[in-house]
Structure 1
């Protein structure tokens, strides 16, 4: 049996519907990045571009990367429609095998977990993400901490934890400062209107030198 590659999985995912996401930025990215002075940003796993467009509208120059060509095409079209297409560069990367070049004032990794990721793949990507942060810049990592409460028989998936993410990054004292490490609960209604909540982990660390 042939294993599904990340590119195949996410291409199939995005082709299921003409639009998968709302187009709005992730609320926890907004919370953590709203007070940052605009500079150069790297958006990892950018999807249909909601975060990258929001950053560009706030004055950031953004390099946005995703494994899905379909997602990137949609994102570029929406950025152009929003009038910020010239502030965003779109690149296709399977981040486990290729990584954007450059140094950035903000590196954003929002919900960077995948059902087809190999063991240790996310940790490797996050270490590369940290290496891409310029002195004085920040890395923001947001991840789901579990399934929504309305799911009675969820499939097994090992969601990342803040201690696990910090262990993978291994930020050295004097080189990095942890500014946010929090588990945030949010209302998360089900597809049929069920009441529910879901928890996310939020980690923001700043490179000091």
Structure 2
């Protein structure tokens, strides 16, 4: 079954039965590993969902803008940020990521499994343009693999993402002009995490980190 990843779709996801688990998930381990060595600055979390990554960045000293199309996701994220004591370090923006343009560029632009209503690689092209000179782009996405099953979902609790939202590391790095970018990480990983009912779910990730030349 195919979906249009528009506001109505994501609002339904975030008003659904998986929303509580999605809104209380820990920050993505790829973000923690890739960003811990960077000096804090300004960050943009694109498709922030329940805010786990934005809140982690804020606790690490970043000044964060976090954008998502789902009203309910942002509401839950703002509550979590307040409870974590970092509300002043995160600005929440309700935005259609297929159209929205930030008014500045950022030291870090990151996204984790977001897939708006445009082709996935076009989305990555858009967010790459929002990285400031000498800044970092970090993409964590769904890995396209041979036995990929079509499905739907968002965030940290999905084992069968839609095929249209999955890519390979080579797909992403091919879009990064070497005159503009230095690719630091281009990795495809497989990990397990708890799913519904305590059953382990296999997560297939693609991780690309690149530094923009000054």
TM-score scaled by length of structure 2:
0.83
Rounded to whole Å, the distance in 2 between the matches of 1:31 and 1:141 is 13
When the two chains are superposed, the root-mean-square deviation of aligned CA atoms in Å is 2.3
Deviations 1:70-92 (A, max 9, x none): 11011111111111000000001
Rounded to whole Å, the distance in 2 between the matches of 1:5 and 1:31 is 29
Q: Residue 65 of structure 1 contacts residue 100 of structure 1 at CA under 8 Å; is this kept in 2? A: no
Q: 2:205 aligns with which of 191, 197, 200?
A: 200
Alignment of 1:54-93 (within 5 A): 54-93=56-95
- 2:176 paired residue number: 171
TM-score scaled by length of structure 1:
0.85
Deviations 1:116-171 (A, max 9, x none): x34x2x22322221111111111000112158x9x9x754624211122223xx32
Q: Residue 146 of structure 1 contacts residue 198 of structure 1 at CA under 8 Å; is this kept in 2? A: no
- 2:135 paired residue number: 137
1:20 CA drift (Å):
3.4
Residue 157 (1) aligns with residue 155 (2)? no
3-state DSSP of counterpart to 1:19: helix
- 1:19 paired residue number: 20
Distance 1:5 1:140, change over 3 A: closer
Give the count of matched residue pairs.
Answer: 198
Structure having the higher Rg: 1
Rounded to whole Å, the distance in 2 between the matches of 1:77 and 1:139 is 27
Distance 1:195 1:77, change over 3 A: closer
- 2:189 paired residue number: 184
Rounded to whole Å, the distance in 2 between the matches of 1:44 and 1:126 is 10
Rounded to whole Å, the distance in 1 between the matches of 2:133 and 2:12 is 38
